[in-house]
Amino acid sequence: MSRRLRRACLIAVAAIAASPAAALAAPPPTSVVSIGDSYISGEAGRWLGNSANLALSRDGTDRACVFTLGLCASYDKSKVYVEGTDVDGCHRSDVAEVLSAHLPVGRSINIACSGAVSDNIVRASNGGTPDHGETPQADQLAPIAAATRVKMIVVSVGGNDLNFAPLVTACFEAYLTLQPPCSQTQAAALSDANIAAAAAKIEHAIDEIRAVMRGAGYLDGDYRLVLQTYPVVIPHAADARYAERDPLRIVDGCPFYDADMNWAQDVAAPRIGDAVKAAAAARGAEVLELLHAFSGHEVCAKTTLPVTALTPPSATRSEWGRAVSASTIAEGDVQELFHPNAFGQAAFGDCLSAMFAAKRGSYSCTGAGGIAPGDMTLAPLS
C-alpha cells in the first residue's frame, strides 16, 4: 500500500470513529397510533364535566374559551380539536386517549375520526371510503408505518357500524315523549345477525391494517394490535342520583327510563363489545375492555356532582361523559353528546398506558367512584 493510500484510509477511519452518525443513519422514532371513531379521536374533549350554564366558561367546563381580561369572551374550538379537525368534524382533540397516555415512544399519533365506520379504515384501493374529506385511515397509516417504528396500534370501531348514535337518540326520545322504553323497541338493532355482520366488517378493517403493516415490512409480531370496546356512559338505575320521573333527569342530562339505563349497562353496551371482541379473537388481536371504565363517573351517577358556580369541575367528582340535555346541546356540538369528555379521555389514556406496559394479552380497565382518571385499574380479561 502506498503512503498516500495508507494516509487516506487512516483519515477515513478517524472520521467515522469521530462521527458514527455519518456511517449509520439514525433509527426512526417509535410510535403508537390510534385509529377508528369518535371514542378514540377525542370527541367531547372540549369539556370538563357538565354544567347547565350557557354563559361564559360554562362554570369552567368549556376548554374552548378564549379569555380576555380574565373573562371568557369567545370560543375557539381549534384550541381543543387540533389540525383543522374542528372544521372538518373529525374532532381529534388535544386530550385524545393516545395523547393523554404516558407512552415511552417518540410519537403518539391520532388519525381517528368522529363518525367513522369500519369501511373508513379500509384502503381506498380495496373499496374503503373517505370520511369528512379525509382518505381512509389505512391509507393514512401507510406513511406513518414507513416513517416511524410502530410499537402499537389501538383501534376503536364498530359502534357506528351498529348505528349507536340513532340507538341513543331513540332511547332519550322515548323518555321525553312518554313512548315505550327503547329496550323494548330497539332490541332488534343488536340482534345476533347484526352483531355478526358488524364483527365481519371489523375483521375486514383489521385485515387492512395488517396488510398495510406487512407492506411496510412489518411482521405481525413486530407491533401490538389492540381493539378497545366502549364504556357505558349512564349508570344502572339504582345508582342514578334522580328517580325515574324526576325533572332533573332532563335538566342534568340523563333522560332515560330506568329500564333503559339497566339495558344500556347489562345488554346494549356489552353486545356492541361482543362484536369487537369476536373480531379481535378471529384475527388474533388484543382487547382493551372499557365497558366499566366510567364506573362511578357516569352521567347522573350518585357518586358524581353536576358542575355549578359553587361546584367547580373535579376529576374525582365530575362526570366523565357528555350529558344529553338542552343545555349541553346549546353549548356545543350535538355529536359530542354521550362521548368521553376530557376527564374520560384522560382515563382512557391511563388505561392505554397500563396496557402498553403489560405483556401481550387482553385486559379490562375499570374505574370507580371518587377516583381520578390516573387511578384506573387494569386486569386480565377473563
SS (H, E, C) 90-148: CCCECCCHHHHCCCCCCEEEECCCCCCCHHHCCCHHHCCCCECCECCHHHHHHHHHHHC
Each residue's pLDDT tens digit, 187-239: 999 999 999 999 999 999 999 999 999 999 999 999 999 999 999 999 999 99
Tell me if 67 is assigned to some domain: yes
For 364, the enclosing helix (H) or strand (E) is: strand 363-366
Share of the chain above pLDDT 70, in %: 94
Q: Are 115 and 94 in contact (CB under 8 A)?
A: no
Residues 190 and 162: their CA atoms lie apart, in Å, by: 7
Query: What is the DSSP pairing of strand 149-156 with strand 65-68?
Result: unpaired
Task: Please state, for a pLDDT cut of 90, what percent of the chain lies above it.
Answer: 92
Confidence (pLDDT) at 24: 66
Q: What pLDDT does residue 26 have? A: 87
Which domain range does residue 222 map to? 32-380
Residue 13 lies in a domain: no
CATH number assigned to the domain comprising residue 189 = 3.40.50.1110
**Mean confidence (pLDDT) of the chain:** 94
The answer to whether position 23 is within a domain reads no
pLDDT of 167 higher than 70: yes
Let me know if residue 315 belongs to a domain.
yes
pLDDT of residue 20: 52
Asked, for residue 26, whether it belongs to a domain, the answer is no
pLDDT for 13 equals: 46
Q: pLDDT tens-digit profile of 133-150? A: 999 999 999 999 999 999
Q: What are phi and psi of 8, to 5 degrees?
A: -65, -40
Structural contact between residues 246 and 328, judged by C-beta atoms closer than 8 angstroms: no
Residue 119 lies in a domain: yes
Lowest mean pLDDT among 22-26, 75-79, 357-361: 22-26
Whole-angstrom distance, CA of residue 83 vs CA of residue 99: 14
How much is the pLDDT for 19? Answer: 52
More confident residue, 41 or 11: 41
First CA to last CA distance, the chain: 70
Please determine, for residue 22, whether its predicted confidence score (pLDDT) is greater than 80: no
In a domain, 230, yes or no: yes
pLDDT in tens, 294-332: 999 999 999 999 999 999 999 999 999 999 999 999 999
Residue 236, in any domain of the structure: yes
* Pairing of the two strands 30-36 and 149-156: parallel
Q: How many domains does the chain have?
A: 1
